[in-house]
Chain A
Amino acid sequence: QTVTWDLANEYPPNSVHARSADTFIATLKEVSGGDIVVTAHHGAALGYKSLDQYDAVGDGALDIASSFATPWSGINPVFILSSIPFLVATPAEERMLYEIARPYYEAVLADDNQVLLFATPWPPSGLWGKKPLDSLEALSGVKLRTYDANGTITFGNTPATPVQLSWADTVPQLSTGAIDAVLTSADGGSASQLWEQQSHFTEVNYAMPLQFVHMNRDAYEALSDEQKVWVAEAAKAAEDFGWNLLEDRVAQNYAEMQGHGMTVVTGVDPAYIAALTEAAKPALEEWKGKMGADADAILSAFDAKRAQ
Protein backbone atom coordinates (compact mmCIF):
# COMPACT_ATOMS: atom_id res chain seq x y z
CA GLN A 1 0.00 0.00 0.00
CA THR A 2 1.66 3.23 -1.16
CA VAL A 3 -1.15 5.75 -1.52
CA THR A 4 -3.89 6.70 0.96
CA TRP A 5 -6.49 9.35 0.17
CA ASP A 6 -9.54 10.84 1.86
CA LEU A 7 -12.73 11.39 -0.12
CA ALA A 8 -15.33 13.88 1.13
CA ASN A 9 -19.02 13.80 0.18
CA GLU A 10 -21.80 15.98 1.57
CA TYR A 11 -24.60 13.42 1.09
CA PRO A 12 -25.73 10.47 3.25
CA PRO A 13 -24.05 7.05 3.09
CA ASN A 14 -26.99 5.43 1.28
CA SER A 15 -27.44 8.16 -1.37
CA VAL A 16 -26.70 7.39 -5.04
CA HIS A 17 -23.49 9.42 -5.02
CA ALA A 18 -22.17 7.75 -1.90
CA ARG A 19 -22.79 4.41 -3.61
CA SER A 20 -20.94 5.54 -6.74
CA ALA A 21 -18.02 6.83 -4.67
CA ASP A 22 -17.94 3.55 -2.74
CA THR A 23 -17.83 1.69 -6.06
CA PHE A 24 -14.89 3.82 -7.16
CA ILE A 25 -13.08 3.07 -3.91
CA ALA A 26 -13.78 -0.67 -3.98
CA THR A 27 -12.76 -1.00 -7.65
CA LEU A 28 -9.59 1.02 -7.11
CA LYS A 29 -8.62 -1.14 -4.17
CA GLU A 30 -9.23 -4.25 -6.23
CA VAL A 31 -7.46 -3.26 -9.48
CA SER A 32 -4.52 -1.79 -7.58
CA GLY A 33 -4.23 -4.89 -5.44
CA GLY A 34 -4.59 -2.74 -2.31
CA ASP A 35 -1.93 -0.26 -3.47
CA ILE A 36 -4.31 2.73 -3.43
CA VAL A 37 -6.64 2.94 -0.44
CA VAL A 38 -9.29 5.67 -0.23
CA THR A 39 -11.31 6.40 2.90
CA ALA A 40 -14.80 7.81 2.27
CA HIS A 41 -16.31 10.44 4.56
CA HIS A 42 -20.00 10.60 3.62
CA GLY A 43 -22.65 12.84 5.13
CA ALA A 44 -20.26 15.82 5.37
CA ALA A 45 -18.37 13.97 8.10
CA LEU A 46 -15.22 15.97 7.40
CA GLY A 47 -17.16 19.23 7.64
CA TYR A 48 -17.01 20.28 3.96
CA LYS A 49 -19.99 21.27 1.83
CA SER A 50 -19.90 20.83 -1.97
CA LEU A 51 -19.09 24.53 -2.44
CA ASP A 52 -16.03 24.30 -0.15
CA GLN A 53 -14.82 21.12 -1.81
CA TYR A 54 -13.96 23.00 -5.02
CA ASP A 55 -11.10 24.93 -3.42
CA ALA A 56 -10.39 22.29 -0.79
CA VAL A 57 -9.46 19.86 -3.57
CA GLY A 58 -7.68 22.49 -5.68
CA ASP A 59 -5.61 23.65 -2.68
CA GLY A 60 -4.86 20.10 -1.56
CA ALA A 61 -6.79 20.20 1.73
CA LEU A 62 -8.69 17.22 0.31
CA ASP A 63 -7.37 14.56 -2.07
CA ILE A 64 -10.70 13.66 -3.64
CA ALA A 65 -14.27 14.87 -3.30
CA SER A 66 -17.69 14.08 -4.68
CA SER A 67 -19.45 17.41 -5.16
CA PHE A 68 -22.85 18.65 -6.33
CA ALA A 69 -22.22 20.92 -9.31
CA THR A 70 -25.01 23.46 -8.78
CA PRO A 71 -23.39 25.27 -5.79
CA TRP A 72 -20.41 25.88 -8.11
CA SER A 73 -22.61 27.98 -10.42
CA GLY A 74 -21.04 31.19 -9.14
CA ILE A 75 -17.50 29.88 -9.65
CA ASN A 76 -17.94 29.24 -13.36
CA PRO A 77 -21.18 29.29 -15.38
CA VAL A 78 -20.31 25.98 -17.05
CA PHE A 79 -21.41 24.25 -13.85
CA ILE A 80 -24.97 25.56 -14.29
CA LEU A 81 -25.44 23.52 -17.46
CA SER A 82 -26.61 20.25 -15.93
CA SER A 83 -29.15 22.02 -13.70
CA ILE A 84 -30.91 23.94 -16.48
CA PRO A 85 -34.54 22.75 -16.29
CA PHE A 86 -36.04 20.62 -19.09
CA LEU A 87 -32.93 20.80 -21.26
CA VAL A 88 -32.76 16.99 -21.30
CA ALA A 89 -35.68 14.58 -21.06
CA THR A 90 -34.04 11.23 -20.31
CA PRO A 91 -30.92 9.87 -18.60
CA ALA A 92 -29.59 8.91 -22.04
CA GLU A 93 -29.84 12.54 -23.19
CA GLU A 94 -28.26 13.73 -19.93
CA ARG A 95 -25.28 11.48 -20.59
CA MET A 96 -25.03 12.72 -24.16
CA LEU A 97 -24.90 16.30 -22.92
CA TYR A 98 -22.34 15.36 -20.28
CA GLU A 99 -20.04 13.71 -22.83
CA ILE A 100 -20.21 16.83 -25.01
CA ALA A 101 -19.58 19.23 -22.08
CA ARG A 102 -16.93 17.13 -20.38
CA PRO A 103 -13.92 18.88 -22.03
CA TYR A 104 -15.28 22.24 -20.83
CA TYR A 105 -15.65 20.94 -17.26
CA GLU A 106 -12.15 19.49 -17.40
CA ALA A 107 -10.65 22.74 -18.61
CA VAL A 108 -12.20 24.79 -15.79
CA LEU A 109 -11.15 22.27 -13.14
CA ALA A 110 -7.64 22.07 -14.62
CA ASP A 111 -7.31 25.84 -14.22
CA ASP A 112 -7.94 25.36 -10.52
CA ASN A 113 -5.40 22.58 -10.05
CA GLN A 114 -7.72 19.59 -10.19
CA VAL A 115 -8.66 16.62 -12.34
CA LEU A 116 -12.17 15.45 -13.18
CA LEU A 117 -12.37 11.71 -12.51
CA PHE A 118 -16.01 11.13 -13.39
CA ALA A 119 -19.51 12.51 -13.04
CA THR A 120 -22.83 10.86 -12.28
CA PRO A 121 -26.34 12.32 -12.39
CA TRP A 122 -28.84 12.98 -9.64
CA PRO A 123 -32.11 11.14 -10.18
CA PRO A 124 -34.57 13.33 -12.11
CA SER A 125 -36.46 15.83 -9.94
CA GLY A 126 -40.23 15.71 -9.90
CA LEU A 127 -43.06 17.27 -7.92
CA TRP A 128 -44.04 15.83 -4.54
CA GLY A 129 -47.44 17.11 -3.47
CA LYS A 130 -50.83 16.45 -1.92
CA LYS A 131 -52.47 16.07 -5.32
CA PRO A 132 -51.35 15.40 -8.91
CA LEU A 133 -49.39 18.48 -10.05
CA ASP A 134 -49.89 17.60 -13.70
CA SER A 135 -51.13 20.86 -15.18
CA LEU A 136 -50.55 24.59 -14.79
CA GLU A 137 -54.01 24.86 -13.19
CA ALA A 138 -53.01 22.25 -10.59
CA LEU A 139 -49.94 24.36 -9.75
CA SER A 140 -52.12 27.37 -9.00
CA GLY A 141 -51.55 28.64 -5.46
CA VAL A 142 -49.21 25.75 -4.59
CA LYS A 143 -46.30 26.72 -2.34
CA LEU A 144 -43.42 24.73 -3.73
CA ARG A 145 -40.00 24.28 -2.14
CA THR A 146 -37.32 24.56 -4.85
CA TYR A 147 -33.60 23.95 -4.43
CA ASP A 148 -31.76 26.38 -6.67
CA ALA A 149 -31.94 29.69 -8.50
CA ASN A 150 -33.17 28.01 -11.72
CA GLY A 151 -36.08 26.45 -9.85
CA THR A 152 -36.99 29.81 -8.40
CA ILE A 153 -36.93 31.41 -11.87
CA THR A 154 -38.83 28.58 -13.56
CA PHE A 155 -41.64 28.08 -11.06
CA GLY A 156 -41.88 31.82 -10.49
CA ASN A 157 -43.10 31.89 -14.12
CA THR A 158 -45.91 29.42 -13.35
CA PRO A 159 -49.01 29.84 -11.16
CA ALA A 160 -47.07 28.11 -8.34
CA THR A 161 -45.22 30.04 -5.61
CA PRO A 162 -41.60 28.95 -5.22
CA VAL A 163 -40.38 28.93 -1.61
CA GLN A 164 -36.80 28.85 -0.42
CA LEU A 165 -36.15 26.74 2.69
CA SER A 166 -33.24 24.70 3.99
CA TRP A 167 -33.83 20.96 3.66
CA ALA A 168 -33.88 20.67 7.46
CA ASP A 169 -36.86 23.04 7.64
CA THR A 170 -38.73 21.41 4.78
CA VAL A 171 -40.29 18.49 6.66
CA PRO A 172 -41.45 20.61 9.63
CA GLN A 173 -42.96 23.10 7.18
CA LEU A 174 -44.77 20.32 5.30
CA SER A 175 -46.13 18.95 8.59
CA THR A 176 -47.64 22.29 9.54
CA GLY A 177 -49.00 22.83 6.02
CA ALA A 178 -46.98 26.02 5.55
CA ILE A 179 -45.77 24.66 2.21
CA ASP A 180 -47.67 22.30 -0.08
CA ALA A 181 -45.16 20.68 -2.37
CA VAL A 182 -41.47 19.92 -2.85
CA LEU A 183 -39.36 19.82 -6.00
CA THR A 184 -36.99 16.90 -5.52
CA SER A 185 -36.30 13.45 -6.90
CA ALA A 186 -38.26 10.34 -5.97
CA ASP A 187 -35.04 9.22 -4.29
CA GLY A 188 -34.48 12.37 -2.24
CA GLY A 189 -38.08 12.49 -1.06
CA SER A 190 -38.10 8.79 -0.15
CA ALA A 191 -34.95 9.18 1.93
CA SER A 192 -36.81 11.75 4.03
CA GLN A 193 -40.05 9.70 4.06
CA LEU A 194 -41.99 12.53 2.46
CA TRP A 195 -44.90 10.10 2.06
CA GLU A 196 -45.80 10.93 5.64
CA GLN A 197 -46.88 14.37 4.48
CA GLN A 198 -47.44 13.95 0.74
CA SER A 199 -49.64 11.71 -1.35
CA HIS A 200 -48.64 12.22 -4.99
CA PHE A 201 -45.42 12.30 -6.99
CA THR A 202 -45.69 13.80 -10.46
CA GLU A 203 -42.90 12.80 -12.81
CA VAL A 204 -41.81 15.82 -14.85
CA ASN A 205 -38.06 15.06 -15.20
CA TYR A 206 -37.26 18.65 -14.31
CA ALA A 207 -33.48 18.19 -14.29
CA MET A 208 -30.77 15.62 -13.57
CA PRO A 209 -27.93 17.78 -12.23
CA LEU A 210 -24.45 16.29 -12.10
CA GLN A 211 -22.26 15.29 -9.18
CA PHE A 212 -18.54 15.52 -9.91
CA VAL A 213 -15.83 13.34 -8.43
CA HIS A 214 -12.68 15.43 -8.71
CA MET A 215 -9.18 15.12 -7.35
CA ASN A 216 -6.18 17.29 -6.58
CA ARG A 217 -3.88 17.62 -9.58
CA ASP A 218 -0.65 17.39 -7.57
CA ALA A 219 -1.81 14.17 -5.93
CA TYR A 220 -2.77 12.86 -9.37
CA GLU A 221 0.50 13.85 -11.03
CA ALA A 222 2.45 12.18 -8.23
CA LEU A 223 1.08 8.82 -9.39
CA SER A 224 3.04 6.42 -11.57
CA ASP A 225 1.64 5.68 -15.04
CA GLU A 226 0.46 2.32 -13.82
CA GLN A 227 -1.36 3.89 -10.89
CA LYS A 228 -3.01 6.43 -13.21
CA VAL A 229 -4.36 3.54 -15.28
CA TRP A 230 -5.85 1.99 -12.16
CA VAL A 231 -7.52 5.28 -11.22
CA ALA A 232 -8.96 5.62 -14.73
CA GLU A 233 -10.27 2.05 -14.59
CA ALA A 234 -11.96 2.62 -11.26
CA ALA A 235 -13.41 5.94 -12.42
CA LYS A 236 -14.88 4.26 -15.53
CA ALA A 237 -16.41 1.48 -13.46
CA ALA A 238 -17.92 3.91 -10.94
CA GLU A 239 -19.22 6.19 -13.68
CA ASP A 240 -21.01 3.33 -15.44
CA PHE A 241 -22.33 2.11 -12.08
CA GLY A 242 -23.72 5.56 -11.26
CA TRP A 243 -25.46 6.01 -14.62
CA ASN A 244 -26.90 2.49 -14.58
CA LEU A 245 -27.99 2.87 -10.97
CA LEU A 246 -30.28 5.69 -12.01
CA GLU A 247 -32.94 3.64 -13.82
CA ASP A 248 -33.01 0.84 -11.24
CA ARG A 249 -33.18 3.33 -8.43
CA VAL A 250 -36.15 5.19 -9.95
CA ALA A 251 -38.08 1.92 -10.32
CA GLN A 252 -37.19 0.92 -6.74
CA ASN A 253 -38.24 4.32 -5.39
CA TYR A 254 -41.57 4.20 -7.23
CA ALA A 255 -42.32 0.74 -5.83
CA GLU A 256 -41.41 1.88 -2.32
CA MET A 257 -43.51 5.03 -2.62
CA GLN A 258 -46.50 3.04 -3.83
CA GLY A 259 -45.96 0.68 -0.91
CA HIS A 260 -46.46 3.68 1.36
CA GLY A 261 -49.73 4.55 -0.35
CA MET A 262 -48.44 7.19 -2.73
CA THR A 263 -49.70 7.72 -6.24
CA VAL A 264 -46.98 8.11 -8.85
CA VAL A 265 -48.24 10.21 -11.74
CA THR A 266 -46.34 9.49 -14.98
CA GLY A 267 -46.90 10.32 -18.62
CA VAL A 268 -48.19 13.85 -18.06
CA ASP A 269 -49.56 15.90 -20.95
CA PRO A 270 -46.65 16.96 -23.26
CA ALA A 271 -48.28 20.39 -23.50
CA TYR A 272 -47.72 20.80 -19.74
CA ILE A 273 -44.04 19.93 -20.10
CA ALA A 274 -43.83 22.34 -23.01
CA ALA A 275 -45.34 25.08 -20.84
CA LEU A 276 -42.87 24.35 -18.04
CA THR A 277 -40.03 24.37 -20.57
CA GLU A 278 -41.24 27.76 -21.71
CA ALA A 279 -41.24 28.93 -18.08
CA ALA A 280 -37.63 27.77 -17.81
CA LYS A 281 -36.53 29.70 -20.94
CA PRO A 282 -35.21 32.70 -18.97
CA ALA A 283 -32.93 30.33 -17.02
CA LEU A 284 -31.50 29.00 -20.29
CA GLU A 285 -31.13 32.49 -21.77
CA GLU A 286 -29.40 33.75 -18.65
CA TRP A 287 -26.95 30.89 -18.83
CA LYS A 288 -26.22 31.56 -22.50
CA GLY A 289 -25.54 35.18 -21.67
CA LYS A 290 -23.02 34.25 -18.96
CA MET A 291 -21.40 31.46 -20.93
CA GLY A 292 -20.92 33.23 -24.27
CA ALA A 293 -19.88 31.40 -27.44
CA ASP A 294 -19.20 28.11 -25.64
CA ALA A 295 -22.91 27.81 -24.86
CA ASP A 296 -23.83 27.76 -28.54
CA ALA A 297 -21.08 25.26 -29.29
CA ILE A 298 -22.30 22.90 -26.55
CA LEU A 299 -25.99 23.26 -27.37
CA SER A 300 -25.62 22.85 -31.12
CA ALA A 301 -23.43 19.78 -30.66
CA PHE A 302 -26.10 18.42 -28.30
CA ASP A 303 -28.93 19.15 -30.75
CA ALA A 304 -26.99 17.46 -33.57
CA LYS A 305 -26.25 14.39 -31.45
CA ARG A 306 -29.85 14.17 -30.26
CA ALA A 307 -31.17 14.39 -33.82
CA GLN A 308 -29.18 11.29 -34.87
Chain B
Amino acid sequence: MTSAADTRDIAGWLRPAMLFQRGVFALSQAAAVLAALLVVGMTLHILLEIVLRLLDRSTFILDEMVGYGIAGATFLSLGYAFEHSALVRVGLLVDRLRGRARRMVETFCGITTLAVTSQIAWVIARSALRSFERGRTSSSIAEIPLWIPEAVCAAGLMIFGLQVFAWTLRQIFDLPGPVAPGDEDPLQNDL
Protein backbone atom coordinates (compact mmCIF):
# COMPACT_ATOMS: atom_id res chain seq x y z
CA MET B 1 0.00 0.00 0.00
CA THR B 2 2.83 2.42 0.77
CA SER B 3 5.23 3.15 -2.01
CA ALA B 4 8.68 4.74 -2.09
CA ALA B 5 7.14 8.05 -3.09
CA ASP B 6 5.31 8.19 0.22
CA THR B 7 8.50 8.90 2.11
CA ARG B 8 9.76 11.87 0.16
CA ASP B 9 10.65 14.54 2.63
CA ILE B 10 8.12 17.29 2.49
CA ALA B 11 8.61 20.90 3.53
CA GLY B 12 6.69 24.12 3.12
CA TRP B 13 2.92 24.31 3.28
CA LEU B 14 2.56 20.62 4.12
CA ARG B 15 4.31 21.13 7.44
CA PRO B 16 1.20 21.48 9.76
CA ALA B 17 -0.43 18.56 8.01
CA MET B 18 2.65 16.46 8.59
CA LEU B 19 2.75 17.48 12.25
CA PHE B 20 -0.80 16.20 12.60
CA GLN B 21 0.11 12.97 10.82
CA ARG B 22 3.21 12.47 12.98
CA GLY B 23 1.27 13.27 16.13
CA VAL B 24 -1.43 10.73 15.37
CA PHE B 25 1.12 8.07 14.54
CA ALA B 26 3.02 8.83 17.76
CA LEU B 27 -0.25 8.20 19.61
CA SER B 28 -0.68 4.86 17.79
CA GLN B 29 2.89 3.93 18.64
CA ALA B 30 2.40 4.78 22.30
CA ALA B 31 -0.75 2.64 22.39
CA ALA B 32 1.13 -0.23 20.75
CA VAL B 33 3.88 0.01 23.36
CA LEU B 34 1.16 -0.25 25.99
CA ALA B 35 -0.19 -3.30 24.15
CA ALA B 36 3.28 -4.86 24.16
CA LEU B 37 3.50 -4.25 27.91
CA LEU B 38 0.13 -6.00 28.30
CA VAL B 39 1.54 -9.02 26.42
CA VAL B 40 4.51 -9.05 28.81
CA GLY B 41 2.13 -8.66 31.75
CA MET B 42 -0.03 -11.59 30.64
CA THR B 43 3.04 -13.79 30.27
CA LEU B 44 4.32 -12.86 33.71
CA HIS B 45 0.92 -13.35 35.34
CA ILE B 46 0.57 -16.84 33.86
CA LEU B 47 4.10 -17.76 34.96
CA LEU B 48 3.38 -16.36 38.43
CA GLU B 49 0.21 -18.44 38.65
CA ILE B 50 2.12 -21.59 37.67
CA VAL B 51 4.74 -20.97 40.37
CA LEU B 52 2.10 -20.11 43.00
CA ARG B 53 0.14 -23.28 42.18
CA LEU B 54 3.25 -25.35 42.85
CA LEU B 55 3.34 -23.65 46.27
CA ASP B 56 -0.37 -24.34 46.90
CA ARG B 57 -1.31 -20.73 46.35
CA SER B 58 -3.05 -18.75 43.62
CA THR B 59 -3.85 -15.22 42.48
CA PHE B 60 -7.42 -16.46 41.79
CA ILE B 61 -7.89 -13.96 38.98
CA LEU B 62 -5.74 -15.34 36.16
CA ASP B 63 -8.35 -15.96 33.48
CA GLU B 64 -10.05 -12.67 34.29
CA MET B 65 -6.85 -10.59 34.03
CA VAL B 66 -5.64 -12.39 30.92
CA GLY B 67 -9.05 -11.78 29.33
CA TYR B 68 -8.72 -8.01 29.95
CA GLY B 69 -5.11 -8.16 28.77
CA ILE B 70 -5.81 -9.80 25.43
CA ALA B 71 -8.73 -7.44 24.71
CA GLY B 72 -6.63 -4.41 25.59
CA ALA B 73 -3.63 -5.60 23.58
CA THR B 74 -5.77 -6.30 20.51
CA PHE B 75 -7.55 -2.94 20.44
CA LEU B 76 -4.56 -0.84 21.51
CA SER B 77 -2.32 -2.10 18.71
CA LEU B 78 -4.90 -1.67 15.94
CA GLY B 79 -3.85 1.82 14.85
CA TYR B 80 -0.18 0.90 14.82
CA ALA B 81 -0.77 -2.31 12.89
CA PHE B 82 -2.99 -0.41 10.47
CA GLU B 83 -0.36 2.20 9.70
CA HIS B 84 2.15 -0.61 9.11
CA SER B 85 -0.18 -2.27 6.59
CA ALA B 86 -0.26 -5.33 8.87
CA LEU B 87 -4.07 -5.56 8.77
CA VAL B 88 -4.86 -7.74 5.77
CA ARG B 89 -7.23 -6.83 2.96
CA VAL B 90 -8.18 -8.31 -0.39
CA GLY B 91 -6.22 -6.45 -3.04
CA LEU B 92 -8.28 -7.65 -5.99
CA LEU B 93 -9.53 -4.15 -6.83
CA VAL B 94 -7.21 -1.68 -5.08
CA ASP B 95 -3.99 -3.26 -6.35
CA ARG B 96 -5.09 -2.68 -9.94
CA LEU B 97 -5.83 1.00 -9.49
CA ARG B 98 -3.38 3.88 -9.65
CA GLY B 99 -3.47 7.60 -8.93
CA ARG B 100 -6.79 9.34 -8.49
CA ALA B 101 -8.95 6.25 -8.90
CA ARG B 102 -6.94 4.43 -6.27
CA ARG B 103 -7.19 7.34 -3.85
CA MET B 104 -10.95 7.48 -4.34
CA VAL B 105 -11.39 3.81 -3.52
CA GLU B 106 -9.02 4.13 -0.55
CA THR B 107 -11.01 7.13 0.71
CA PHE B 108 -14.18 5.09 0.47
CA CYS B 109 -12.56 2.24 2.43
CA GLY B 110 -11.32 4.66 5.08
CA ILE B 111 -14.71 6.31 5.56
CA THR B 112 -16.49 2.95 5.72
CA THR B 113 -14.03 1.75 8.34
CA LEU B 114 -14.54 4.91 10.39
CA ALA B 115 -18.31 4.60 10.18
CA VAL B 116 -18.40 1.05 11.54
CA THR B 117 -15.61 1.13 14.12
CA SER B 118 -16.54 4.51 15.60
CA GLN B 119 -20.04 3.20 16.37
CA ILE B 120 -18.58 0.16 18.10
CA ALA B 121 -16.10 2.34 20.02
CA TRP B 122 -19.01 4.51 21.11
CA VAL B 123 -21.02 1.52 22.41
CA ILE B 124 -18.05 0.22 24.40
CA ALA B 125 -17.30 3.72 25.73
CA ARG B 126 -20.93 4.14 26.80
CA SER B 127 -20.72 0.83 28.60
CA ALA B 128 -17.51 1.96 30.35
CA LEU B 129 -19.25 5.14 31.47
CA ARG B 130 -22.19 3.18 32.85
CA SER B 131 -19.88 0.77 34.69
CA PHE B 132 -18.05 3.77 36.15
CA GLU B 133 -21.19 5.60 37.25
CA ARG B 134 -22.74 2.56 38.88
CA GLY B 135 -19.49 1.35 40.42
CA ARG B 136 -19.75 -2.06 38.78
CA THR B 137 -17.00 -4.58 39.46
CA SER B 138 -16.14 -8.09 38.37
CA SER B 139 -17.49 -10.95 40.48
CA SER B 140 -14.04 -12.30 41.33
CA ILE B 141 -12.28 -11.89 44.63
CA ALA B 142 -10.31 -8.91 43.23
CA GLU B 143 -13.49 -6.99 42.31
CA ILE B 144 -11.85 -5.20 39.39
CA PRO B 145 -13.81 -2.11 38.31
CA LEU B 146 -15.32 -3.05 34.95
CA TRP B 147 -14.91 0.44 33.49
CA ILE B 148 -11.11 0.12 33.33
CA PRO B 149 -10.80 -2.64 30.70
CA GLU B 150 -13.82 -1.27 28.84
CA ALA B 151 -12.32 2.21 28.70
CA VAL B 152 -8.96 0.84 27.53
CA CYS B 153 -10.64 -1.02 24.66
CA ALA B 154 -12.73 2.01 23.71
CA ALA B 155 -9.59 4.17 23.77
CA GLY B 156 -7.77 1.68 21.54
CA LEU B 157 -10.60 1.77 19.02
CA MET B 158 -10.67 5.58 19.13
CA ILE B 159 -6.93 5.80 18.49
CA PHE B 160 -7.46 3.41 15.59
CA GLY B 161 -10.24 5.68 14.33
CA LEU B 162 -7.98 8.71 14.56
CA GLN B 163 -5.28 6.84 12.65
CA VAL B 164 -7.74 5.84 9.94
CA PHE B 165 -8.96 9.46 9.79
CA ALA B 166 -5.39 10.72 9.32
CA TRP B 167 -4.77 8.08 6.68
CA THR B 168 -8.00 8.98 4.85
CA LEU B 169 -6.96 12.66 4.80
CA ARG B 170 -3.72 11.57 3.13
CA GLN B 171 -5.70 9.77 0.49
CA ILE B 172 -7.94 12.77 -0.14
CA PHE B 173 -5.12 15.34 -0.29
CA ASP B 174 -2.47 12.99 -1.67
CA LEU B 175 -0.09 13.48 1.27
CA PRO B 176 2.85 11.27 2.23
CA GLY B 177 2.66 9.10 5.34
CA PRO B 178 4.77 9.12 8.50
CA VAL B 179 5.90 5.51 8.27
CA ALA B 180 8.83 4.53 6.12
CA PRO B 181 7.72 1.53 4.08
CA GLY B 182 9.43 -1.56 5.41
CA ASP B 183 11.35 -4.15 3.55
CA GLU B 184 9.46 -5.82 0.70
CA ASP B 185 9.19 -8.85 2.95
CA PRO B 186 6.75 -7.98 5.73
CA LEU B 187 8.43 -10.57 7.94
CA GLN B 188 11.54 -8.43 8.04
CA ASN B 189 9.63 -5.26 8.75
CA ASP B 190 10.86 -4.26 12.18
CA LEU B 191 9.62 -0.89 13.30
Contact = CB atoms under 8 A, between A and B. Distances in A.
User: CB atoms of A and B under 8 A apart anywhere in the complex?
Assistant: yes
A132 B186 CA distance: 59
B139 A162 contact: no
Contact of A74 (B60, B62, B137): B137
B143 A164 contact: no
B61 to A, nearest CB: 7
Contacts of B136: 74-75
A286 to B, nearest CB: 10
B64 to A, nearest CB: 9
Contacts of B138: 74
Nearest to B137: A74
B127 interface: yes
Interface of B is mostly: loop
- Give the bracket for the number of chain A residues in contact with chain B: 20 to 34
B53 A178 contact: yes
Contact of B139 (A70, A164, A178): A70
B189 interface: no
Interface residues of B, number: 20
Contacts of B59: 164
A289 to B, nearest CB: 13
Interface of B: 53, 56-63, 127, 130, 134, 136-141, 143, 146
B139 A72 contact: yes
A166 B63 contact: yes
Contacts of B134: 75
Contacts of A71: 139
18 contacts: A51-B139, A70-B139, A71-B139, A72-B139, A73-B139, A74-B138, A74-B139, A141-B56, A149-B139, A149-B140, A152-B60, A152-B141, A161-B57, A161-B58, A162-B58, A164-B62, A165-B63, A166-B63
Nearest to B123: A59
A237 interface: no
Nearest to B144: A74
B45 to A, nearest CB: 12
A128 B62 CA distance: 23
Given A71-B139, A74-B137, A164 B63 contact: yes
Given A55-B130, A74-B139, A149-B139, 20 more contacts: A72-B139, A73-B139, A74-B136, A74-B137, A74-B138, A75-B136, A143-B53, A143-B56, A149-B60, A149-B140, A161-B56, A161-B57, A161-B58, A162-B58, A163-B53, A163-B58, A164-B62, A164-B63, A165-B63, A178-B53
